[in-house]
Structure 1
Amino acid sequence: MFDPDSAARAAELDKNRAGYLYGPSLIGNSSFFLTGQLGDQLVQSEVDLWNQDAAPVRAAIQAEATPVLQSVGVAGGLKDLSGYERLYENQWKTANPDGVDPGILTNYTQDLLFSMERLSNNPFPIKRLHPQNDTLPFEIEDDIVQNLTTVSLASLHAAGRLFVVDHSYQANYAGIEGRFTAACTAYFFIDPVSGDLLPLAIKTNVGSDLIYTPLDADQDWLLAKIMFNVNDLFHGQILHLANSHAVAEIVHEAALRTMSAKHPVRAYLDNIMYQAYAIRPVGSQILFNPGGLFDHNFALSNVAVKQFVADFYPTVAGPFQANYLQRSLVDRGLINCSYGPDLAHFPFAEDAGTIVEALRAFATSFVHAYYPNDHDLSQDGELQSWVSEASSAAKVIDFPASPLIYRETLIDILTHLAYLTGVNHHTLNSATPSASSGVLPFHPMALYQPIPTAKGVESVLPYLPNLSASINQTTLLLGFIRPQLFNSARDLENMFDNSGFLAGASAVVKRAASSLQDRLMSISQMIQARSFDANGLSQGMPFLWRNLDPSRLPFFLSV
């Protein structure tokens, strides 16, 4: 980018390279964490801002926790499953003003709710089994499969109707004494009759390695789904750390070292990375430290967290281009599948896809405003240095190759980073655990009895957290919400429509930011207008999933 004061700009770049350094990763071995004189100053500034936002949230939780504990106790405690509803109904009005997604507390025993959570609350581990390229993780007796699906397991596989979520890796992770977890692998299938995605079987992969199906007794099958959810909640919370946080940070770190703060692409990145460098330091100090909040609540320990990050960052969470939204969904056979039928409903793809289309339209206008043709990219030394730095010194996995030749590639990069900070992160974190994915009794962080060695449990209740542990889980997850940002200048609708970012921007970029805001507001209105249809469903699910409402999402990596 042309700068009339080239000497001052060169001096700034030298200062940036000397002051922003790559330090050791935090919370497991993922990307470098920012250090150096300038880096440390930025981190401290971000931590201070984060603490300012966290303070009213903590105050609200503290003010409401004791009354909730007392009211649930007076009402009879948690003597049956319905008692868990008292933890949420008409509670936490300040800490969680939107409450729990309708249907989560009333319809959690429905198999359709369990299966559709795989396509909404945590859509990242599910994949369709390819008829030729994927072998079956485990076998099920044909008469059971026939009874449930009208066809054999081999037929489901051959027809591209069989899906899997595999959390068996958790069997090798360090746990917490007195808490228990399985390491479930689950099959799901597109029903040949209804077309719905439904659960077929859950294998525990620990102890007696039992395989549960919907034909089992109600309490056995409910416990199997709860065991799976313990694994899935761990997966979702730590994947978001290794995917959205670690990836967005390291790409931005490379930009800090190679671009002037005056560069428009640097300004784009600085804008969406607001408060980003607070999360891993704060998490290291209070959440993932030995004996910290994670150890106090989950079945798996802080050691397991760091092992997950080390395992998943280089293979699943860290690759940059492989996690582009559309590419990831196609690669896992979830959309545009050539070897199986379409999913009848895919709430995450519907909502995230619509938002990403809007983000991409803005990124396109932004890039075209500064680079009228592809050749202009080659003339921008800072831009090219950033791309080279990202894939070399910064060690960003699967980053587009240097030199950057096509504007479309830059649009891809910028769109993906906005998706990571404004959509991907909040799908798993922010308000989602308190709205649905971490709501009791169906989604505990741990079990409190050993995994059964035989079927025939009389009740799932002894496996669930008691009142004190339930309050601990609930308050931990409430801390991820930022209700003061709802409908604010820092929600996703205003990601680029702010005076700081738009200062000095061209009329084209300002119009694009306004257009993005309009599109995101329309998406918000659409999501808020959702209701149940005549069959008690919304987006094919027996609960109202509103977790990607742009007016309720911070535009940044908030927690």
Structure 2
Amino acid sequence: MGKFQCYSIKVDREKNCIKTVRVGIRVIRIQDLYKRRCNIPSYHLNLITLRVPMWLGVKILTMNCNIPGLNLTGDLSFSPSFSFTSLLPLSTKNVMAEYTLEVTTGSMLRAGTPDNLYVTLIGTERQSEHTLLTSFEQDDKTRKVGTYSVTTLFSLGCLLLLKLERDPFHESPEKDWFCSKIVVKTPEEDEILFPCHRWLSRGEFAFVFCGLLSVKHNIIKKYIIYVPEYVSQHWKEDYFFGHQFLNGLNPYMIHRCSKLPSNFPVTEEMVKPFLANGSSLTVEMAKGNIFLSDYKIMEGLPTRVIDGKPVPLTAPLCLLYVNPEKKLLPIAIQLGQQPSEENPIFLPSDSESDWLLAKIFVRHADSLYATLVVHLLDNHLLAEVFTIATLRNLPGIHPLHKLLIPHHRYTLNINILARALLYGPGRTFGNSSLGADGQTELLRRGLSQMTYTSLCLPEDIVARGLESIPNFYFRDDALRLWNIINSFVKAMVAYYYPSDSDVSEDSELQGWVNEIFYYGFLGNGDSGIPSSFQTVEELIKFVTMVIFTSSVKHAAVASSQFDFLGWIPNGPVLLLQAPPTTKGQSRKETILETMPDKSSAGFIMSIWWQLSWKHDDFVPLGTYPDQRFDEPAALQMIKDFQAELSSLSVAITKRNSELELPYSYLNPKEIENSVAI
């Protein structure tokens, strides 16, 4: 078998415990499984000699656990709080690893902090626990170096990055701390430099990469969020450009086109080469294979001024075609709303740089619209309206308060932070093409176009003619989730409101919807939003929409931000050069000059990463940590709801296993119960 370093276990029958057992090749890892019992698999354990490291601290009790391959009699097991769960290769470096950290504060005035610091080391094999580095006790003037230790049960492998956090709560006055660098000494005696050189405010965290990075492609993919590696490889391709209208950040813009708008003069001759043999634009429209994304809402928005010049923003029209291979492909792009010689229609047959640049400007408009209208307005701000109306009108004992309050968790908090840090004059999102005035105007236009139909997914899909377009995974998953939520809400509402009169006579309920109508939708009767409820069915539909908006709809856009916008050329929110007005004039250098500079791109990328982060106390859809209902019938409805979500999760996982690019954003276990980030 070769040479192996092994630990052993010895049976002490008088004390009814196991001390050590020698295992060839592998050693058993012991983990806390919260009273879960599990038998050891049938591995051959060759030699029984013994010694268990004292740091395992395992107390052994009797509970039937067979160990095939051991010539021992009697039942052997760990206490109910521990179980054998997996086997790992054993070597000295895999056991009880200690990392020494030297944390250096900057030398500038008032760089220190008395706050507690926390660190998480992340390696190729695993990551450390969230570890407290004791209070710094730094003064304000001199450079300080603090030495700390992080101990892990096993080696982390090759260190990739570390997460540094400041305690959000501390009794001392708040002041920023400047971290100069962190040097980590590994169990293998290597010293790894993590240059930081940045200020951290109280409660803020930062991911710090090591100075020399040879495994850059693995880091973000494995340890942060799914990095759009696929996006970075395929963003130029037409099929992926079309794919994003259905399964990307914004699946709410595209609609079936049965007649071209008068300001988009695409001719049969222009697009015939890109259609099926012998077909025509008219024929394909009649078949339902032609689709349009029209960004008229972006026309004339005020933009940022950089170096005395307003940055460009287009209001494009993009024509798409579902080909016989069921791929959605762009076949014509016009970057402005008014056709002219200086606003040509770009085609796939144009030069590579012309066609790519046209697609980049479409993605630019789409990314801005998705961020401000689909994400901020349709999710965050609308969910805030629902939350405030619930808190103001429905007392805690009201059944709808109990039903909805889990879907309002953290919504006010995250929106207050967004106003303070992201949106408005001088805020973070001011780094996009839209300044504060442009953002406000786009939100105003978005609200004026919002309808009850657009908020109710089944009706929205029909209204946009998207019932049969293939490979529309957002639609498939979202409709199933709508139906599951609707069934749950229907059961709950019918239980507490047996008749229409129970609904119409509930003054608190009527006050709730009336306030949403007048304060959320400014009393706009054309929106179709109800200002009162007369029937049980009306209430069921509205509550379904509220829960769906606060969970499913938000997850589809929020969770995908970094994936589709993190690779800046695929989803730029800032472009620096004007769109092309003449064909054949662009080059590769033109595209590079149009993109934001490295500093802006890096900053924007970091924003998408932070906004896509899955926080530690994530609560998935259908989870109700605080029991508010005590009626057995209501509790059973919640269990049925959770079972339906679990079944859908299995189905989505199975489907995704067969896809080149999985669509996981609406897997129920990945959907937050509320707008919480």
| TM-score range relative to shorter protein | 0.7 to 0.9
Q: Are the equivalent residues in 2 in contact too, given 1:493–1:551 (CA < 8 A)?
A: no
Once the two structures are superposed, the pairs formed by residues 404-419 of structure 1 within 5 Å of their partners are 404-419=533-548
Among 645, 648, 663, which residue is 1:520 paired with? 645
**Where does residue 115 of structure 1 map in the other structure?**
242
**Where does residue 445 of structure 2 map in the other structure?**
311
Q: Give how far 1:373 is off.
A: 3.3
**Where does residue 63 of structure 1 map in the other structure?**
207
**Where does residue 433 of structure 1 map in the other structure?**
561
Q: Are the equivalent residues in 1 in contact too, given 2:618–2:672 (CA < 8 A)?
A: no
1:173/1:438 CA distance change after superposition, 3 Å: farther
Q: Are the equivalent residues in 2 in contact too, given 1:288–1:295 (CA < 8 A)?
A: yes
The aligned amino acid for 1:149 is L
Q: Give how far 1:236 is off.
A: 0.4
Structure 1: state its 5+ residue gaps: 1-50, 76-85, 336-341
Once the two structures are superposed, the pairs formed by residues 247-396 of structure 1 within 5 Å of their partners are 247-296=382-431, 298-316=432-450, 319-335=451-467, 342-392=468-518, 395=522
1:303/1:58 CA distance change after superposition, 3 Å: farther
SS at match of 1:106: helix
SS at match of 2:232: coil
Matches of 1:245 and 1:287, distance apart in 2: 13
Q: Give how far 1:113 is off.
A: 1.1
Alignment deviations for residues 267-322 of structure 1 (CA, whole Å, 9 cap, x no partner): 222221112223443222221122221112x1222211100111110213xx3344
Among 311, 315, 320, which residue is 1:188 paired with? 320
SS at match of 1:444: coil
1:510 aligns with 2:635: yes
Alignment deviations for residues 328-377 of structure 1 (CA, whole Å, 9 cap, x no partner): 11111111xxxxxx212211111111222221121112112212333432
Matches of 2:606 and 2:554, distance apart in 1: 20
Matches of 2:566 and 2:207, distance apart in 1: 21
**Where does residue 553 of structure 1 map in the other structure?**
671
Q: Give how far 1:524 is off.
A: 3.0
Q: Give how far 1:478 is off.
A: 1.2
Q: Give how far 1:124 is off.
A: 0.7
Query: Where in structure 1 do 4 or more consecutive aligned residues deviate above 6 Å?
Result: 55-58
Matches of 2:649 and 2:379, distance apart in 1: 22
Matches of 1:263 and 1:450, distance apart in 2: 56
**Where does residue 349 of structure 2 map in the other structure?**
215
Alignment deviations for residues 65-86 of structure 1 (CA, whole Å, 9 cap, x no partner): x65xx66xx89xxxxxxxxxx9
1:450/1:57 CA distance change after superposition, 3 Å: farther
Question: Between Structure 1 and Structure 2, which shows a larger proportion of strand residues?
Answer: 2
SS at match of 2:329: strand
1:491/1:531 CA distance change after superposition, 3 Å: closer
Scaled by the length of structure 2, what TM-score is found? 0.63
The aligned amino acid for 1:385 is G
Q: Are the equivalent residues in 2 in contact too, given 1:433–1:439 (CA < 8 A)?
A: no
Matches of 1:137 and 1:511, distance apart in 2: 56
Q: Are the equivalent residues in 2 in contact too, given 1:400–1:409 (CA < 8 A)?
A: no
Larger relative contact order, structure 1 or 2 (CA cutoff 8 Å, min sep 6): 1
Question: Between Structure 1 and Structure 2, which shows a larger proportion of helix residues?
Answer: 1
1:393/1:112 CA distance change after superposition, 3 Å: closer
1:244/1:219 CA distance change after superposition, 3 Å: same
**Where does residue 47 of structure 1 map in the other structure?**
none
**Where does residue 26 of structure 1 map in the other structure?**
none
**Where does residue 238 of structure 1 map in the other structure?**
372
1:478 aligns with 2:603: no
Q: Give how far 1:147 is off.
A: 0.8
Matches of 1:396 and 1:183, distance apart in 2: 29
Q: Are the equivalent residues in 2 in contact too, given 1:107–1:543 (CA < 8 A)?
A: no
Radius of gyration: which is bigger?
A: 2
Alignment deviations for residues 503-522 of structure 1 (CA, whole Å, 9 cap, x no partner): 34321221221222222233
Q: Are the equivalent residues in 2 in contact too, given 1:250–1:396 (CA < 8 A)?
A: no
Query: How many residues are matched?
Result: 463
1:543/1:411 CA distance change after superposition, 3 Å: same
1:411/1:138 CA distance change after superposition, 3 Å: same
